[in-house]
Amino acid sequence: MTRTLEFYYDYGSPYSYLADTQVEAIAKRAGAALVRKPMLLGGVFKATGNASPMTVEQKSKWSAFDMPLWAGHYGVPFQRNPFFPVNTLALMRGAAAAQIDGLFERYHPTIYKAMWVEGRNLNDIAEVAAVLTAAGLDARKFGSRIQDQDVKDRLKATTDEAVARGVFGAPTSFVGDMMFFGNDRLPFVEMALKGELK
């Protein structure tokens, strides 16, 4: 039976970006399927009483040191977004719409690159539209789709599902019933996919 790596994330989480650069290769090495699950991290925080580590001064300072180390370790580009924090509701609805409409493979890397490589102001709808247009996506259509009920329902359902499974932050990975929080748990995710964790 093929194991599955379920990856819950939010574009506003820099550690989700870092982990996202690795999960495809991890799944491939393990002969596993990868399922990305966009959720609304703000909704998870509200449901669990958690908060962004960036709201704690000491954690924010430490993360500013830690995140570039991980980017260097992975060999991927990264810069802290100067417009952080970003309200990601529209972006995460966009991900849900892209999954429904078969555009996720273009949408997903575009948003992550704009957020954590280019440092674009994705709080600004006009900026988001420019990013999507440059990627050959129909920004006007996305702007309309994120208001549609099926898209809203999809994002809410995934967020509720995450909370029900014990998720309290992002990124969170599942291999079966085993939950792994954070970018730094990815070695254990790979072990679980290969059947090396009991």
pLDDT score for 51: 81
Domain assignment present for residue 198? The answer is no
Q: Tell me the mean pLDDT per 10 residues along the chain, length 198.
A: 92 97 98 98 91 81 93 97 93 98 98 98 96 97 96 98 98 97 97 91
Domain assignment present for residue 73? The answer is yes
Domain assignment present for residue 91? The answer is yes
pLDDT score for 60: 86
pLDDT score for 20: 98
Domain assignment present for residue 155? The answer is yes
197: which 2 tokens?
């964790």
Q: What is the domain range of residue 115?
A: 4-193
10 Å CB burial of residue 190 (0-12, 13-18, 19+) is buried
Per the structure, how many domains does the chain have? 1
pLDDT score for 50: 83
Domain assignment present for residue 25? The answer is yes
pLDDT score for 86: 92
Domain assignment present for residue 24? The answer is yes
Domain assignment present for residue 44? The answer is yes
pLDDT score for 56: 74
pLDDT score for 143: 94
DSSP 57-123: HHHHHHHHHHHHHHHHHHT------TT-S---HHHHHHHHHHHHHT-HHHHHHHHHHHHHTS---TT
d(CA 176, CA 136): 36
pTM of the model: 0.96
Domain assignment present for residue 170? The answer is yes
**CATH number of the domain that residue 159 is part of:** 3.40.30.10
